[in-house]
Structure 1
Amino acid sequence: MGCGIIYYQYNSLSTHELDSIKNSLWNANYFYILLSLLVAVISHGARAYRWKFALQHLGYETKMSNNFFTVCVSYLVNLTIPRSGEVTRAALIKKYEDVPFDKAFGTIVAERIIDLAIFFLFVIIGFVLQYEKLHQFFIDQNVSLRTIAFSGIAFLVMAVLFLVIWIYAEWSILLKLKKKLAGLTEGILSVWYMEKKWQYIFHSFLIWGCYLIMFYIPIFALPETENIGFNIVIMGFIFGSLAIGFTNGGIGAFPLSISLIFGLYNIPEEISVAFGWLAWTSQTVLTILLGLIGYLLLPIMNRK
């Protein structure tokens, strides 16, 4: 799908716009790109350190180096099949730290729930601050806000209904399933019952703060974007995050989403596309490098 998006976007640009994108990328100030990559590494470290709290609650004292590099490898795997990295991370921590797969995977699911909640905070802030712009955007894209609202409410109702049934129902098939998934459930609930839950929450916000800063810093790499307001940045961050979350690393989708959002603020398409590719490519290269380093170092560091 990502390749199809790239092909579509490439063919929608004129020769002049393509030349402008090349010039922007060539003349960008890559100091800011390197700075954003440093923040990305910090976010990886914060995610690895946050994981220790959940694993400690379950009785497993893992090495920070193993946590960090399994996180890096999981990001690399996510570039192939969306969300497959979570399974890989649980499998690696089982291999190198002997944490049961179901419990490790449960802690990762708990992470995703917390991350999703924080992301929705960004979405709410963005919608409140930029309602008119977003409303116009959805109109231009032939998307009904009512449909989005009803879909969100329906999803929430289904999630609550599932939790109620899971907690209180005593159907024989459900009891058997609960028994089989006891480790997974324990991992998910580790956040709620852990002693250091507030440190866990703090690092969760630290991770997302780093994500926002990672997106914001490259703004200064291009002269045409260095003066854009934070309201534009927050909207680009929200839709860029959605593109990454629902595709294999945001390939093609990230630059396209950035160009659509920035276009609402009258930023030329070629500049928006250049920024999108600059931010996405730099982060993807870092993901590949750290993932490969982790893949090579993990067996070496854990030789017995």
Structure 2
Amino acid sequence: MRLTIKQWIQVVLSLGVAIWIFWFLYKDISFAELADVIAETSMFWLAASILIAIWGFWLRAWRWKLLIDAGENHQTSTWRAFWALQIGYLANLLVPRAGEVARCGVLKKTEGIEMGKLFGTVILERTIDLLFMASTIFLAFFFERELFVNLFSELVSVDDLFEKINNALPIFVGGLIIAIVFFYYLFRKYRDNSIIKKLRHFIRDLIKGVVSVKKVKNQLGFWASSIAIWVTYYFTMFSVAKAIPATASLSPSAVLMVMVMGSIGMVAPVQGGIGTFHALVAFILIRYGLSEEQGKIFAAIIHGSQVLTIIALGLLALGIFFKITAKKEPKSS
């Protein structure tokens, strides 16, 4: 994937912000402190967290396969979807959000599926994940509502929030209407243009991918895997909490709250959630009685173990991808 100068500037800026946040958080923590905590960490629980995370990756790949195959006669290889997903995760460590395009490009090369449809399934995936994330936040609110209310009142002014929404809503609606009218006119006037034809074809494939959830044959498997993916996120966090003495006594609902804050941190447009994940996880752990150092070290251990896993699997996936494309293996392999 080639980047423009503007995109390179965005990558460098986002990486700079991530490194600065990370440095600011950890400038007062010595390697000796970190080494001491790692020495006390249970390798059994840490290994369990990595295995659970990998199982979550596999579930995500299988769910993606179900979407891709919806309404089609061919069967996508789950393994190839898995390796494409790992390359996508690896790309996200380099360029924020690039992984979604990268994994679609990889699967297009190995399975010969239209890019538009693949990207449509990814948009659908992300929409579903957003709904499950909102449900997880609601669940955390149910179990930890007192802490949740206190945090929200400290961080957000409800009156200011509604005022900003009211001010921005007319601009948003007006801009949306103008955009719809503009593209409608463009497609009508230049409908025979080759570029417009390709764009229309891509949009049709995109819509086909987005609505593919209705055509998924294994509806039970699709929605069960969607739930299971978030369950694996929880038990990955729970296992690391058990591995470290300072967090071993956290309640299940507290771990859920930590997972929610970590998930929000991962949404930030920086490489791999570097800095933002650590800041939010450490912030919430302090609320549960841990010291600032303990919170930051916990965040560093869980994030570091996951990043190393993604790098290892991503590099392995790259090797397999190059082998498949070089040999031009059949889809059924």
TM-score using structure 2 length: 0.80
In structure 2, the CA distance between the partners of 1:36 and 1:81, relative to structure 1 (3 Å rule), is same
Cross-structure match for 1:5: 21
Cross-structure match for 2:284: 261
Cross-structure match for 1:245: 267
Q: CA deviation at 1:8?
A: 1.0
In structure 2, the CA distance between the partners of 1:150 and 1:22, relative to structure 1 (3 Å rule), is farther
Cross-structure match for 1:109: 123
Cross-structure match for 2:138: 124
Q: CA deviation at 1:122?
A: 0.5
1:47 aligns with 2:60: yes
Q: CA deviation at 1:180?
A: 4.7
1:98 aligns with 2:112: yes
Counterpart contact for 2:110–2:324, Cα < 8 Å: no
1:161-180 counterparts in 2 under 5 A?
A: 171-173=184-186, 180=202
Cross-structure match for 2:90: 76
1:28 aligns with 2:41: yes
Cross-structure match for 2:239: 217
Unaligned residue ranges in structure 2 (runs of 5+): 1-16, 192-198, 329-333
Secondary structure of 1:73 counterpart: helix
Percent identity of paired positions between Structure 1 and Structure 2: 25
Question: 1:36 is aligned with what amino acid?
Answer: S
Q: CA deviation at 1:31?
A: 1.4
Secondary structure of 1:123 counterpart: helix
Secondary structure of 1:249 counterpart: helix
1:294 aligns with 2:317: yes
Moved more, 81-90 or 145-154: 145-154
C-alpha distance in structure 1 between counterparts of 2:157 and 2:248, whole Å: 33
Counterpart contact for 1:74–1:85, Cα < 8 Å: yes
Unaligned residue ranges in structure 1 (runs of 5+): none
Counterpart contact for 1:21–1:271, Cα < 8 Å: no
Cross-structure match for 2:101: 87
Counterpart contact for 2:89–2:310, Cα < 8 Å: yes
Q: CA RMSD in A?
A: 2.9
Deviations 1:207-260 (A, max 9, x none): 111111111111111112111112211111011011112232111222211110
C-alpha distance in structure 2 between counterparts of 1:14 and 1:82, whole Å: 27
TM-score using structure 1 length: 0.87
Cross-structure match for 1:205: 227
Counterpart contact for 2:25–2:296, Cα < 8 Å: no
Cross-structure match for 1:196: 218
Equivalenced residue count is 296
